[in-house]
Structure 1
Amino acid sequence: MSMPLKRTPPNSPMPSTADERDSHEKAKSLNLQQSTQRQNYDSAPDLPSLANIAERKERKHDGSTDEAISITSVLKEMFSTFSKDQDKRFNELQQTIGGIKEQNDALTNSVDLMSQKYDEFITRIAQLEAERKEDKKLIHILEEKIEYLEKKNRTSGIEIRNIPKATGETKQDLCKLVQKLGNTLKIDIKYSDVKDIYRINTKDGTNPIVAELTTVLLKENIIKEVKSFNKNKNKGEKLNTTHFNSHQPMKPVFVSETLTSKTQRLFHLAREFQKNYRYAFCWTSHGTIYLRKEEKAPAIKIASDIDLQDLRKGE
């Protein structure tokens, strides 16, 4: 590695006399002038280049400033556009939120109203349910009273079933049939003993005869004698249509007391129960239905469907 050149002359020894000092100063001054000239000579050719470089650097600096200003303007414009867009979106969002809030308030008010109406409905339904129970009790009481009055009105009536209806049949013809029944049972029945007589229209076309008699004693006597007449007789010898008209085909004739519609329905259910569970007897007395399991068994009173249901559970 080469050592750098030193352009400054080496220090000469200090002169000892005045003349020597003057000579030394002159030599030093001359060397300084030469050194300055050489520096100027060496640096002179580079001066134009340095000027050009300074000019170019200055031009670049001016261009960069314009470009920076332009970028700044673009950024400002972009930021301004972005800010306006954000403001617009923010306003739209505020309007949307406001609309949602209004809808929410309206929905809340509607829910509150519906809740209030629901509470009113619940209260009203509870009141109606309580009233319905009271009305049901009252209806049951009224039905029982009507049933009692109907039974009272029919205490003296009898019902004759399975006698065919004749063409052009009149009440006088029906009264004659009742008289024939009395003759068969050996009971004297007059026209004056029949208060009213008529047929009931039924779905099966049997059209039973209902005779309202003047006294309950006469009705009970007829029912008693029918049971005695049929007792211990064969099927063909029991009361039938030939006892009323010898020209008619033989069919069994049944005589019972007149029942209300409710009791008739219950009596039908009781007879079905008798067949299904093999009870020996099923009959009515004074408008009340009875069942008996065996001949010496106690009679069971049937007042409603519930009594039949209880008997089914016990079987």
Structure 2
Amino acid sequence: MLHSPTNKSDTELHKHRASRTNDDSVSGRKRKQPEPEWSNAIQALSAEFKNTLNEWRSDLESSINKINDSVTSIKVEMTTITKVTTEIKNDIQSLRSEQNVLRQTVSELETKYNDAMQEIDRLKDSFRFVGDEQSDILRKVSEFSKQNQDYTESKQTISELIAKIDSLEQSARSCNIEICNIPERRNEDLIALITSIGSSINYNLKQSDIISIHRVPHAHRDNDRPKNIIVKLNSRILRDNILSAYRINKGLNTGKLGLSGKSLPIYMHEHLTLKNKILFRQCRDAAKANNYRFLWVKHGTILVREREGTKSFAIRSPEDIAKIKPSQSVSVPGIAK
């Protein structure tokens, strides 16, 4: 802050007045006192000069205060500007870092792009090659389709022939009975055994009714059950009558035949081909799973019935097993043959 100027003029004025007073007092003897108007004018001028100086001092102090306020405001603004400038510098530094990363990324992308273009060129060459190969393949497929059509026709013919052969093979067994679960013995008399079975089921079976009788090996060597007995009879009617008598006289076992050892149940049924035996086992498993009560074979055909009063249906292929499914009614567990 500026100090107000010293009242030098007032001091000098007082000195001047004093000297003048002294001079006047000295020379008063020589001349007269000045006129009162001059003294008043000088005093008025002095007062006016003092007022002017005071106004100058006030204006100067006000200007200095305004300058100080402006300087303070400028300092605050400079602090804000410095802070903003620092943030801008940080942002610029961050942008530079990001720019460097972006440049590196762009460089990597350019490298990958160049590699991709090279790969595309190789793929184009491959496509051209594949196009040529495809034309050759289409030609071969056309030839193969024609051959496949012939093969399909041949396959259908083969399937039909296999079915006919299987049917003929089953027909060749139409007079046969297969007997299961009779223990094997040395020097056993199978004719006497089948005659004894006829007596146990109340059917008079003569030796002349039997064309042949023998045991057959199991399909699997690890099967330790007794080998089954195959009986070939004179006619299918005779076979059906014997099986009917067997079903009527339930409970046939080795004890009734007078065989020693533990009493074992004896099973008799039509002699099926290996294919039909496998199909019968599959049907039996499906029937048990779906609580079907009846499963039997008649004239080489597998028949299934859910329970008493329901309609039976035939199973002639593995695809037909899907027909064995539970109905809405309550089924009786167990399977009757």
SS at match of 1:242: coil
Q: 2-side partners of 1:119 and 1:253: how far apart?
A: 63
CA offsets 1:91-126 (integer angstroms, 9 cap, x no match): xxxxxxxxxxxxxxxx99987874554233212321
Q: 2-side partners of 1:254 and 1:108: how far apart?
A: 69
CA offsets 1:179-212 (integer angstroms, 9 cap, x no match): 1111111222222211121222113233111111
Which among 211, 217, 238 is matched to residue 218 of structure 1? Answer: 238
CA offsets 1:116-150 (integer angstroms, 9 cap, x no match): 54233212321232122112211121122112211
Contact 2:170 2:273 (C-alpha < 8 Å) held by counterparts? yes
Q: 1:223 to 1:133 in 2, by over 3 A?
A: same
Which among 179, 198, 221 is matched to residue 214 of structure 2? Answer: 198
SS at match of 1:212: strand
Q: 1:119 to 1:183 in 2, by over 3 A?
A: same
Q: 1:135 to 1:313 in 2, by over 3 A?
A: farther
Q: Which residue of 1 aligns with 2:197?
A: 181
Q: 2-side partners of 1:313 and 1:295: how far apart?
A: 14
Q: 1-side partners of 2:281 and 2:202: how far apart?
A: 30
* Residue 138 (1) aligns with residue 164 (2): no
For normalisation by structure 1, the TM-score amounts to 0.58
Q: Which residue of 1 aligns with 2:38?
A: none
SS at match of 2:184: coil
Q: 1:283 to 1:305 in 2, by over 3 A?
A: same
Q: Which residue of 2 aligns with 1:208?
A: 228
Q: Which residue of 2 aligns with 1:166?
A: 185
% identity of equivalent residues: 28
Contact 2:233 2:239 (C-alpha < 8 Å) held by counterparts? yes
CA offsets 1:210-246 (integer angstroms, 9 cap, x no match): 111011121011110011101xxxxxxx111112333
How many residues are matched?
200
1:264 Cα offset (Å): 1.1
Q: Which residue of 2 aligns with 1:309?
A: 322
Q: 1-side partners of 2:324 and 2:283: how far apart?
A: 11
Which among 207, 228, 245 is matched to residue 258 of structure 2? Answer: 245
Q: 1-side partners of 2:224 and 2:231: how far apart?
A: 18
Which among 302, 310, 329 is matched to residue 289 of structure 1? Answer: 302
Aligned-residue Cα RMSD (Å) equals 2.5
Q: 1-side partners of 2:140 and 2:264: how far apart?
A: 62
- 5+ residue gaps, structure 1, are 1-106, 231-237
- 5+ residue gaps, structure 2, are 1-125, 329-337
Q: 2-side partners of 1:109 and 1:297: how far apart?
A: 67
* Residue 299 (1) aligns with residue 312 (2): yes
Q: Which residue of 2 aligns with 1:227?
A: 247
Q: Which residue of 1 aligns with 2:277?
A: 264
For normalisation by structure 2, the TM-score amounts to 0.54
Q: Which residue of 1 aligns with 2:71?
A: none
Q: Which residue of 2 aligns with 1:120?
A: 139
